[in-house]
Amino acid sequence: MNDHVIIQLEHITKRFAADHNILDDLCLDIHENEFITLLGPSGCGKTTTLRIIGGFETPNEGRVLFDGKDITSLPPYKRELNTVFQKYALFPHLNVEENIAFGLKIKGKSRDYIRDKIRYALKLVNMDGLEKRMPDQLSGGQQQRIAIARAIVNEPKVLLLDEPLGALDLKLRQDMQYELIRLKNELGITFVYVTHDQEEALTMSDTVVVMNQGYIQQMGTPEMIYNEPENAFVADFVGDSNIMDGLFIHDELVEIFGAKFPCVDKGFGVNKPVDVVIRPEDIDLLKPGEGSIDGVVTHIIFKGVHYEMEVTTPNGYEWLVHSTDMFPVGTKVSIHVDPFDIQIMNKPQSEDEEALGVDE
């Protein structure tokens, strides 16, 4: 990724009904050679954003700039980008090489140029030797690779990917994640990726944009999004979280369910209601009385790399805990959390603020 901004979305608003904005005054800069992921639940506006970048939708308000030029009204085929959809959209009556060559033939490229490009693209996606296969003779993963090959032979500056791995099984999806990272690094092009899968977003991206209700909730590196969520929606959507009501007593001290927890946050006032986020893997279970609040293990599941437990405290709250140590159901424990692992957030003051993810 470099500092050059290749795509700018300026104050984009899109509505499909008079009273309902799918996107509401959205602004976003996408840098050259960046792998940026739009992440969020169904209906959050991420696919609409991608379609506006690709030229398949036109915003009601705002502009799309590509290298500083206004392309808001430009049709998709005139934009220096290609799109890979979840439905691979391969031509069923054309074989692999004919599918890949389709866009190049439309552009009037020579036969030798097309042949060299096909060979290069198939090698990139590890599909050499399958030129004559028909789409129905390919697995889902192979079809996806051909769809990507068809897009990259056109040498787009930007590749748009709309949930391209959604139809694949888990192992294949993980393999393709590594392939896409490799392709992005080898090709040096910008990837704009849409998914509702948080693991995909955290695994592949340079930048993650978390969206909800047509707004950007938070934007940053995967580490920042996971470790420093700016509001309860991001904390809840990206990874597992314990999200609780707290009382910020004063700087570096918060009360949760009547128990005092040292923290590192400052500037939230005195005796102010706040939201508190604690990740399950950041909770240590000690002997009763040794932590900040006591409880009882009420549920346990073995997850392979860790145990997932629920610890119920006297107020009835069930704390989600991930640990490599196993505590049987019925064990009395005490919850300890390092101050650095406690995230304090302002409570939203209104429904609008809740949608926007506003932090004062």
Class of domain 5-227: alpha beta
pLDDT above 70: percentage of residues in the chain? 95
Name the DSSP letter for residue 121.
H
More confident residue, 87 or 91: 91
CA distances from 199 to 39, 57, 195, 238, 296 (A): 10, 28, 10, 8, 31
Single-letter amino acid code for the residue at 188: G
The pLDDT, as a whole number, for residue 1 is 66
Q: What token pair was written down for 36?
A: 């940026």
Q: Which is the CATH superfamily of the domain at 232-356?
A: Nucleic acid-binding proteins (2.40.50.140)
The pLDDT, as a whole number, for residue 349 is 66
Task: Report, as an integer, the average pLDDT of 176-187.
Answer: 85
Sequence-ordered list of residues with C-beta below 8 angstroms from that of 74, at least 6 positions apart, any chain: 55
Task: Indicate if the pLDDT at residue 306 is higher than 90.
Answer: yes
Single-letter amino acid code for the residue at 1: M
The pLDDT, as a whole number, for residue 358 is 43
pTM: 0.85
Over residues 93-117, the pLDDT tens digits come to 999 999 999 888 888 889 999 999 8
Task: Indicate if the pLDDT at residue 359 is higher than 50.
Answer: no
Task: Indicate if the pLDDT at residue 312 is higher than 80.
Answer: yes
Q: Tell me which residue of 293, 283, 290, 294 sits closest to 332, measured CA to CA.
A: 294
Name the DSSP letter for residue 296.
E
Per-domain residue ranges of the chain: 5-227, 232-356
DSSP string of 138-169? S-HHHHHHHHHHHHHTT--SEEEEESTTTTS-
DSSP string of 164-232? TTTTS-HHHHHHHHHHHHHHHHHHT-EEEEEES-HHHHHHH-SEEEEEETTEEEEEE-HHHHHHS-SSH
Task: Indicate if the pLDDT at residue 353 is higher than 70.
Answer: no
More confident residue, 199 or 170: 199
Task: Report, as an integer, the average pLDDT of 302-318.
Answer: 96
The pLDDT, as a whole number, for residue 335 is 98
Task: Report, as an integer, the average pLDDT of 242-248.
Answer: 96
Name the DSSP letter for residue 348.
P
Single-letter amino acid code for the residue at 307: Y
Work out the pLDDT band at 3, boundaries 50, 70, 90: confident
Please state, in angstroms and rounded to a whole number, the distance separating the CA atoms of residues 52 and 61: 11
Quote the mean pLDDT of the chain: 90
